[in-house]
Chain A
Amino acid sequence: MTEFLQQLINGLAFGSILALIALGYTMVYGILRFINFAHGDVFMIGAFAGYYLTPRVAAFLPAPSIWSGIVVMAGSMVICAALGILIERFAYRPLRRSSKLAVLITSIGISLFLEYGGQFVFGAAPRPFPALIPNYQIPKLGGLSVTSDQVIVLAVTLVLLAILRFIVLKTKIGMAMRALAFNPEGAALMGVNTNVIISFTFGLGSALAAAAGILFALLYPAVDPLMGIMPGLKAFCAAVLGGIGNLPGAALGGLIIGTVETFVAAYISSTYRNAIAFAVLIVILLIKPSGLLGKKDVEKV
């Protein structure tokens, strides 16, 4: 039982990181209907931004401390939001009227560019991520080993999800995002500035990916330019699993995939762990093709 709870905590911590990345995939899909393959690499850039910001922040704030952690995370989120907006502006916007496939291949190109550009600039070898926030072993609760990093990951994810929910449901810009996802032409006719909202969506999604990058580096303290590929693909599976375009679905999908993967790695075989996300996805899609919370679209003639 203790072992089970232990793995559940590990799985939820990993799953909440996937959930944060999956939200970016699903928001972009909801508005532009294409898979942004570069999103996993924005996550990588977020982790690298943290790697370079930490020593600079340590120059004027006591580090490792909660405050330096917050400043680094905020800085990395701003950098990635800007990167996301730039990518959309220069790579995706010119293709707004062409086929979805052209945009998809462009996003694959951007993804390769960030990966190999990253290898060129940062070097291919993994680097140790500096201590950002003091890590404590939380006093044992019935044999459970929980670190403060895991608690921080879960808490930060919950806070970010709450902020995202507030933005999407309670603010004017969130209302515009929902309108655009529902009917792009209709929203534009009602005076929604489509380009601004799309840029905002990319910025928001990329900021969440940056936060996920920092949290990932807290749990697994090493950064390398290809670190975004696998979490990106798994998060994408999570978004499809929950029903792509659906925000609660993406969060749910991330938690499910993170937890199942951790359990399989712990109880069955750790060498198969990278196949689990895809296996879960295939099973769910065979049972419910539109994802867990997705709406079934009826194709009109």
Chain B
Amino acid sequence: MRVKQLSLSAIERAGDSPKTTLLAALVLCFLISLLEQHNQSYWLYVSYDIGVNIILAVSLNLINGYTGQFSLGHAGFMGIGAYTAAVITNQFSNLHPVLNVGVFILALIAGGLLAALAGLIVGIPTLRLRGDYLAILTLGFGEIICVVLQNMDAVGGARGYAVYHNWTNIFWAFGTGAVAIYIIVALVHSTFGRGFIAVQDDEIAAAAVGINPVKYKVTAFVIGAFFAGIAGGLYAHSKGYLTPDGFGYMKSVEIVVMVILGGMGNTPGVVLAAILLTLLSEGLRSLQDIEHIPGISTEFPLSWISGIRMVIYSLLLVVLMLTRPKGLFSMKK
């Protein structure tokens, strides 16, 4: 609790008026996106991933960090949003070029709303379950969403689904990220939102002072799922191709790791962790392209690096958890 207040006040200090900061961030994202070329480089795509992962991590942080529930199915919500948005833009993009921006926004919001509906359905069992039981239930929902997508022939089933428009750019990726951060921080900061932290701290005590824990848990799931759905839509329009496997257990774990390494309920930390982990994962991937290290004999085979990328990632994860179990950026109490 004390740590959380510290981290919230850190955000307050970032700008005297959060609204101005948000506006400035949006304008900045827009200006940068004007400079963007459409012969896009690899690192530009990585930056879209960073934006998408920030939204995912911040929205999961509302459920796992602030409200203290444990969800392991966040990628499922992302998948619902991704497929919904992709189907909509594929269907309605031929109306008029001017309308495209509107179609994109509507598609993202529709994906978010459908994911929020799924969040409501998952949130209802939280009335009765807690802790590890809830974790396995959300994991189960995520896997079921995956299997259902694999069996939907209308969106290509297990073969995957092509998205025709690469509309995601810096503005959409980071602008939406800024809006998500703003809304979630403002929400947790509001009089209503203090209830999330109360539920996380002590559910029984919260209920005793008249806070309805059920309402807060379900709200957290719905809002978290909404933003995950929007992140999914952005992801779909940056990758151009969707497969159900991309929204499985592994992706959910990746998001949970961002939240935990960032520090539960510490939004700046979670944003930083999302950026660092995306860069780490991509940076390790680029190791594969190195043919030989200067100074070392060229016969030295470096192809093994490609195999060892995820081994390094998993080892780093274990070492980080062993050395900083409360997250990378936790402050001493």
Q: Of residues 229 to 269 in B, which have CB atoms within 8 Å of A's CB atoms?
A: 249, 253, 256-257, 260, 264
Interface status of B135 (Cβ within 8 A of chain A) = yes
Known A105-B260, A289-B129, A299-B204: A112·B325 in contact at CB below 8 Å: no
Given contacts A119-B307, A278-B143, A289-B128, contact A106 B326 (CB under 8 A): no
A91 and B307 contact, CB distance less than 8 A = no
* A 251-284 binary contact with B (CB < 8 Å = 1; else 0): 0000000000000000001011011011101100
Q: Mark B133-169, 1 if CB is under 8 A from A, else 0.
A: 1011101110110011011000000000000000000
A98 touches B325 (CB 8 A): yes
Q: Is A227 an interface residue (CB 8 A)?
A: no
A119 to B314 Cα, complex, angstroms: 13
Main secondary structure of the interface of A (DSSP, over half): helix
> A105-B317, A112-B310, A281-B137 in contact; A95/B322 too (CB < 8 A)?
yes
> Is residue A285 contacting chain B, with contact meaning CB distance below 8 A?
yes
Give the residues from 206 to 260 in chain A that come closer than 8 angstroms, CB to CB, to chain B.
229, 233, 236-237, 240, 244
Residue A166 is within 8 A (CB to CB) of chain B in the complex: no
Q: Is the CB of A237 within 8 A of B136?
A: yes
Q: Is B14's CB within 8 Å of the partner chain A?
A: no
Contact across chains for A112 and B314 when beta carbons are under 8 A apart: yes
Contact (Cβ within 8 A) A237 B321: no
- On chain B, the residues within 8 Å of A286 by CB distance are 125, 128
Question: What is the minimal beta-carbon distance from A28 to any residue of chain B, in angstroms?
Answer: 12
| Contact indicator B317/A108 (Cβ below 8 Å) | yes
Contact A102 B260 (CB under 8 A): yes
Asked whether A109 lies within 8 Å of B311 as measured between CB atoms, the reply is no
Alpha-carbon distance between A263 and B296 when the two chains are bound, in angstroms: 58
Chain A: minimal CB distance from B8 (Å): 20
Proximity bits, A92-124, B CB within 8 Å = 1, else 0: 001100110110011011111101110110000
A281: chain B residues at CB < 8 Å are 136-137, 140
Most buried by B among A29, A236, A278: A278
Closest Cβ of chain B to A164, distance in Å, is 22
Per DSSP, are chain B's interface residues mostly helix, strand or loop, or mixed? helix
A190 at the interface (CB under 8 A from B): no
The CA-CA distance from A113 to B313 in the complex, in Å, is 8
**Which residues of A sit under 8 angstroms from B309, Cβ to Cβ?**
116
Complex Cα gap A236–B140 (Å): 11
Q: Which of B132, B147, B326 contacts A244 (CB 8 A)?
A: B132
B257 near A108 (CB under 8 angstroms)? yes
A301 at the interface (CB under 8 A from B): yes
B310: chain A residues at CB < 8 Å are 112, 115-116, 119
CB contact between B147 and one of A94, A229, A272 (< 8 Å): that residue: A272
8 Å CB contacts to A: which residues of B158-214?
204-205
User: What's the minimum C-beta distance from B64 to chain A, rounded to whole angstroms?
Assistant: 8
Q: Is B318 an interface position by the 8 A CB rule?
A: yes
B315 at the interface (CB under 8 A from A): yes
Contacting B136 at CB < 8 Å: which of A94, A119, A236, A269?
Answer: A236
Output the nearest chain B residue to A110 by Cβ-Cβ distance: B318
Number of A-B contacts (CB under 8 A): 122
Contact pick for B132, options A35, A278, A299, CB 8 Å: A35
**Judging by beta carbons under 8 Å apart, are A102 and B325 in contact?**
yes
Most buried by A among B70, B128, B256, B311: B311
Chain B residues whose C-beta falls within 8 Å of the C-beta of A102 in the assembled complex: 260, 321, 325-326
Q: Which residues of the other chain, B, contact A91 by a CB distance below 8 angstroms? A: 318, 322
What residues of A have a CB within 8 angstroms of the CB of B253 in the complex? Answer: 108, 112
A106 touches B322 (CB 8 A): yes
Residues of A within 8 A of B280 (CB): none
Partner of B143, one of A94, A99, A274, A290: A274
Whether B23 sits at the interface, judged by CB under 8 Å, is: no
**Contact: A113 with B321, CB < 8 Å?**
no
Least CB distance from B154 to A in Å reads: 15
Q: Are B313 and A112 in contact (CB under 8 A)?
A: yes
- Interface residues in B297-332 by Cβ distance below 8 A to A read 304, 307-311, 313-315, 317-318, 321-322, 325-326
Cβ–Cβ < 8 Å partners of A105 in chain B: 256-257, 260, 317, 321
**Bound Cα distance from A29 to B105, whole angstroms:** 45
- What residue of chain A has the Cβ atom nearest to residue B202's Cβ? A301
From A94, A113, A289, contact of B315 by CB (8 A): A113
What residues of B have a CB within 8 angstroms of the CB of A285 in the complex? Answer: 125, 128-129, 133, 137
Contact at A237–B257, with CB atoms within 8 Å?
no
> How far is it, in angstroms, between the C-alpha of A108 and the C-alpha of B257 when the chains are bound?
9
| A101 close to B264 (CB less than 8 A) | yes
Query: Are the CB atoms of B318 and A271 closer together than 8 Å?
Result: no
- Some 10 contacts from A to B, beta carbons below 8 A apart, are A91-B322, A98-B325, A102-B321, A105-B260, A116-B314, A120-B311, A233-B143, A271-B151, A272-B151, A282-B144
Interface residues of B (CB under 8 A from A): 70, 125, 128-129, 132-133, 135-137, 139-141, 143-144, 147-148, 150-151, 204-205, 249, 253, 256-257, 260, 264, 304, 307-311, 313-315, 317-318, 321-322, 325-326
- With A95-B321, A278-B143, A281-B140 given, name 8 new contacts (CB 8 A): A34-B132, A113-B315, A119-B307, A120-B308, A278-B139, A282-B144, A285-B128, A301-B205
